[in-house]
Chain A
Amino acid sequence: MKSTNFNSAHLEKQKFTRLLKLNLPHMKRILLASICVLLVNGALLIKPYILKIVIDDILTKHVVQKGFYSLTTLGILYFVVVALSGFFGIAQVNLINRAGQEIMRDLRGKVFQTIQLLPLWYLDKVSSGNLITRATNDIESLSEMYTDVLISLFQDVFLILGIIFVMIMINVRLAIISFCVVPVMFFLVFLLKTRIKRNFRKMKSLIGRINGFMAENISGMKLIQIFYGEKEKKEAFAKLNSEYFKVTSFQVWMNSFLKPAADVFQSLAVAILIWYGMGKIANQTLQIGVLYAFTTYIKQFFAPIADLADNYSTIQSAFASADRIFELLDQKENLEDLDSGISMEHTKGTIEFKNVWFSYNDEDWILKNISFSIHEGQTAAFVGQTGAGKTTIISLVSGFYKIQKGEILVDGLNINDIKKRDLRKNISVIFQDVFLFSETIGKNISLNDDISNFVIGDAIRTSFAKEFVEFLPEKINEPVMERGSTFSAGQRQLLSFARAIAHNPAIIVLDEATANIDTQTEILIQKAIETMSKDRTTLIIAHRLSTIRNADKIIVLKQGEILEMGNHAKLMEKDGYYKAMVMEGVKEYHTHIY
Chain B
Amino acid sequence: MGNNILIKFIKDHKFSYIIGIIFMLLASYIQTLFPKVLGYTIDILQTNGFNPKSVYINLVYIVLIAIGTFVCTYAWRNLVIGNSRRLECHFREKLFDHFQKLSPEFYNRRKTGDLIAYAINDINAVRMTFGPATSMAINGMVVCVISIYSMANTINWKLTLLSLLPVPFIICIMFYIGNIVKKHFRKVQETFAAISDRVQENITGIRVIKAYVQEDGEVKKFQKLNDQMLEANLNMVRVSAYLAPLIELCFTISFVLNLIWGGNMVLNGSISLGGFIAFNGYLAMILAPVLSIGQVITIFQRGMASLDRLNEIFNVKPHVKDGESRAEFPAQSTIIITELSFSYPGSDSEALSNINLVIPTGKTLGIIGKTGSGKTTLVNLLLKMYNVEPNKIAFNEIDINDFKLDALRNGFGFVPQDNFLFNASIAENIKFFKNIYSEEEVVNAARNSCVYQNIMDLPDEFETILGERGVNISGGQKQRISIARALIKNPEILVFDDALSAVDTVTEAEILKNLRKVRKNKTSIIVAHRISAVMEADEIIVLEKGKISERGTHLELLEKEGLYHEIYKFQFGAS
Contact = CB atoms under 8 A, between A and B. Distances in A.
Contacts of A523: 570
B555 A503 contact: no
B561 to A, nearest CB: 12
4 smallest beta-carbon distances between A and B, as pairs: A448-B217, A86-B245, A386-B476, A267-B66
A117 B70 contact: no
Contact of B209 (A116, A257, A271): A116
Interface string B30-47: 000010001001100110
Contacts of B502: 386, 514-515
B205 interface: yes
A365 interface: no
Identify which of B215, B244, B264 gathers the most chain A CB atoms within 10 Å of its CB.
Answer: B215
Interface residues of B, number: 161
Contacts of A437: 201, 205
B223 A109 contact: yes
B4 interface: no
Contact of A259 (B77, B203, B467): B77
A288 B273 CA distance: 10
A123 B206 CA distance: 9
Contacts of B229: 105, 108
A264 B67 contact: yes
Contact of A386 (B111, B204, B206, B477): B477
B241 A263 contact: no
B574 interface: yes
Contact of A101 (B73, B200, B209, B230): B230
B77 A256 contact: yes
Given A270-B38, A519-B370, A581-B505, A82 B252 contact: yes
A115 B102 CA distance: 36
Contact of B535 (A225, A238, A592): A592
A179 interface: no
Contact of B210 (A140, A295, A424): A424
A477 interface: no
B440 interface: no
B279 to A, nearest CB: 12
B184 interface: no
- The B interface is mostly helix, strand or loop, or mixed, namely helix
A71 interface: yes
Interface in B37-91: 38, 41-42, 45-46, 49-50, 52, 55-56, 58-59, 62-63, 65-67, 69-70, 73-74, 77-78, 81-82, 85-86, 88-89
A520 interface: yes
Contacts of A219: 112, 420
Interface in B73-119: 73-74, 77-78, 81-82, 85-86, 88-89, 92-93, 96-97, 99-102, 104, 107, 111-113, 115-116, 119
Contacts of B27: 260
A242 interface: yes
- The A interface is mostly helix, strand or loop, or mixed, namely helix
Interface in A471-509: 482-483, 488-490, 499, 503
Given A546-B571, A581-B506, A391 B474 contact: yes
B558 A94 contact: no
B343 to A, nearest CB: 18
Contact of A520 (B56, B210, B284, B370): B370
Interface stretch (A4-12, A57-65, A326-334, A410-418): A57-65
Given A425-B213, A516-B417, A482 B111 contact: yes
Interface string A178-190: 0000000000000
Identify which of A86, A109, A236, A242 gathers the most chain B CB atoms within 10 Å of its CB.
Answer: A86
A315 B489 CA distance: 51
Nearest to B85: A248
B385 A222 contact: yes
A113 interface: yes
A342 interface: no
Q: Chain A: interface residue count, which band?
A: 35 or more
24 contacts: A71-B259, A75-B260, A76-B256, A109-B223, A210-B92, A211-B119, A212-B423, A218-B99, A219-B112, A221-B99, A221-B104, A249-B85, A267-B62, A267-B66, A288-B45, A336-B210, A387-B474, A387-B477, A421-B213, A448-B220, A449-B212, A449-B214, A516-B371, A545-B505
B107 A222 contact: yes
A314 to B, nearest CB: 13
A227 interface: yes
A214 B192 contact: no
Contacts of A228: 406, 409-410
A237 to B, nearest CB: 5
A515 B210 contact: no
Interface stretch (A192-200, A349-357, A367-375, A427-435): A427-435
Given A109-B223, A263-B70, A79 B207 contact: no
A575 interface: no
Nearest to A277: B45
B115 A385 contact: no
Given A116-B219, A214-B115, A585-B532, A338 B213 contact: yes
A499 B257 CA distance: 75
Nearest to A82: B252
A93 interface: yes
Contacts of B475: 386, 432, 514-515
Contacts of B474: 386-387, 391
B249 A278 contact: no
A97 B115 contact: no
B155 to A, nearest CB: 15
B356 interface: no
Identify which of B86, B211, B369 gathers the most chain A CB atoms within 10 Å of its CB.
Answer: B211
Interface string A504-537: 0000000000111111111100000000000000
Given A86-B248, A97-B241, 16 more contacts: A55-B273, A62-B267, A97-B237, A214-B116, A215-B112, A248-B88, A252-B78, A253-B78, A259-B77, A264-B67, A266-B66, A282-B50, A291-B45, A386-B476, A420-B213, A585-B532
B49 to A, nearest CB: 7
A385 B507 contact: yes
Interface stretch (A24-32, A130-138, A164-172, A452-460): A130-138
B567 to A, nearest CB: 5
B503 A435 contact: no
A233 interface: yes
A278 B52 contact: yes
B549 interface: no
Nearest to B116: A214
B280 interface: yes
B270 to A, nearest CB: 13
A583 B273 CA distance: 108
A588 interface: yes
Nearest to A559: B457
A255 interface: yes
A234 B59 contact: no
A588 B263 contact: no
A252 B80 CA distance: 10
B85 A431 contact: no
B16 interface: no
A136 B195 contact: yes
Contact of A87 (B204, B245, B252, B535): B245
A521 B371 contact: yes
Nearest to A257: B74
Given A128-B203, A488-B371, A427 B211 contact: yes
A278 B42 CA distance: 10
B89 A271 contact: no
Interface string B207-242: 111111111111111110011011001100110011
A245 interface: yes
A435 B211 CA distance: 12
Contacts of A93: 237, 241
A176 interface: no
A237 B49 CA distance: 71
Contacts of A98: 234
A74 B100 contact: no
